[in-house]
Amino acid sequence: MKLIILDRDGVINFDSDAYIKSPAEWHPIPGSLEAIARLNQYGYRVAVATNQAGMARGLFDMKTLNAIHHKLHTSAQAVGARIDAIFFCPHAADENCDCRKPKPGMLQEIGRRFETPLKNIPIVGDSLRDLQAGFMVGCAPHLVMTGKGSKTLEKGGLPPGTVVFQNLAAVVDRLLHNDLLSAETVDAARAALQKKK
């Protein structure tokens, strides 16, 4: 199975230091939903992993978060994209839960739900905690410059092997290019075997 894990705020949609507290505040980054549609066309399952401490702070409730995610899903569907699952942590940092990134609990749950090992699965985030959580479970970390990405790059301390891209669309360009190269290599090997026969 081809799986990719995406952070939400700053990767798919514009981020806000004051949190995304309503559907009206949720706006997709240009090209991000179309990039997800391209992933779907090449057989990728798409999971979103997002910290939502605004719930613990009382800034919005479960009903509002569901409404925000409904807008995300319908906006994605409008361009032919599909998000298979959204996983979220509703806790504040001081609650010391296992699911809040940079802890790996939410990503481990994704692995269980999709029944797939996470080794080398691409994870895309704009903050260090996204990449750290992914690195802990063996994911391949991808940092985007949207959202908090520029500040994250400046601060440094990125996990080994982190690759940096302008935005989600650029990540998808690279992934699909590499997939096509792999497919061409397999086809060439098969062709060579046929000739030997």
- pLDDT for 186 beyond 80: no
Considering the candidates 7, 15, 126, 130, report the single residue annotated as catalytic: 7
Q: CA-CA distance, 137 to 90, in Å (whole number)?
A: 21
pLDDT at 2: 95
Q: Which of 139, 179, 195, 116 is nearest to 5 (CA)?
A: 139
126 carries an active-site annotation: no
Considering the candidates 9, 15, 126, 130, report the single residue annotated as catalytic: 9
The stretch 41-61 carries a mean pLDDT of 96
- pLDDT for 171 beyond 60: yes
Q: CA-CA distance, 44 to 179, in Å (whole number)?
A: 11
pLDDT at 163: 96
Domain count, the chain: 1
Q: CA-CA distance, 91 to 116, in Å (whole number)?
A: 26
pLDDT at 15: 96
Per-residue pLDDT of 67-124, as tens digits, reads 999 999 999 999 999 999 999 999 999 999 999 999 999 999 999 999 999 999 999 9
Range of the domain at 61: 2-196
| CATH (domain of 69) | 3.40.50.1000
**Counting beta carbons within 10 angstroms of the beta carbon of residue 157, is it exposed (0 to 12), middle (13 to 18) or buried (19 or more)?**
exposed
Q: Which of 5, 47, 9 is nearest to 28 (CA)?
A: 9
Report yes or no: 35 and 76 within 8 Å, Cβ to Cβ. no
17 carries an active-site annotation: no
